[in-house]
């Protein structure tokens, strides 16, 4: 069964059997051809069915081979974790981490909703720059629609209307 992490069966003499079942714990959702639950190692657990809790980070943009390998999924987890380490940013909850082969990682926040382009490297530095930009925008009562951190000496911001 896809949800079973481990199962142990013990025979207890004279006439009892004890079962211990540990379920897999989903930590994210994979958006591929459908939605799938993912475990902490980046492996698919099972497809999402109607009525199930889907309040998890979404990982998207990966090819089938990248999903099978799980390396990119783990990188997406690590990126989200790095984002959450920033005291200012952790209050802007992530809804999705998207991979683009050319441009790298894009992040999408929940509330307020906007896109953050972080590329393929130096995430800690970029998150510090993002923090400065978002504080400045908040001070000016402006809301971003997109923040592109892929430039070494500048940040490109598109504002919400």
pLDDT confidence band for 3 (50 / 70 / 90): very high
Three-class DSSP labels, 82-124 = HHHHCCCHHHCCEEEEEEECCCEEEEEECCCCCEEEEECCCHH
Residue 21, beta-bridge partner list = 7
Using one digit for the tens of pLDDT, what is the confidence trace for 32-57?
Answer: 999 999 999 999 999 999 999 999 99
Mean pLDDT of 94-115: 96
Mean pLDDT of 78-106: 95
To the nearest whole percent, how much of the chain has pLDDT over 70? 100
pLDDT confidence band for 21 (50 / 70 / 90): very high
Helix then strand then coil, in percent of the chain rounded to 5, is 25, 35, 35
Q: How far apart are CA 151 and CA 96, in angstroms?
A: 22
CA 5 to chain centre: 22
Say what the pLDDT of residue 153 is: 83
Contact 71, 81 (CB under 8 A): no
Half-sphere exposure of 100 (CA within 13 A, CB side): 11
Say what the pLDDT of residue 103 is: 94
């Amino acid at each position: 069964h896809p949800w079973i992490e481990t199962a142990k069966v013990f025979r207890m003499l004279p006439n009892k059997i004890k079962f211990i079942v540990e379920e897999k714990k989903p930590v994210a959702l994979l958006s591929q051809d459908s939605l799938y639950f993912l475990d902490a190692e980046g492996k698919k657990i099972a497809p999402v069915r109607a009525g199930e809790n889907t309040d998890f980070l979404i990982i998207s943009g990966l090819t089938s081979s990248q999903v099978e390998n799980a390396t990119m999924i783990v990188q997406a987890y690590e990126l989200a974790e790095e984002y959450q380490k920033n005291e200012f940013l952790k209050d802007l909850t992530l809804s999705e981490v998207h991979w683009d082969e050319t441009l790298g990682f894009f992040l999408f926040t929940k509330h307020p909703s906007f896109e953050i382009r972080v590329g393929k490297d130096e995430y800690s530095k970029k998150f510090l720059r993002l923090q400065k930009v978002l504080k400045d925008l908040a001070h000016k009562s402006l809301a971003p629609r997109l923040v592109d951190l892929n430039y070494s000496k500048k940040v490109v911001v598109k504002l919400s209307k």
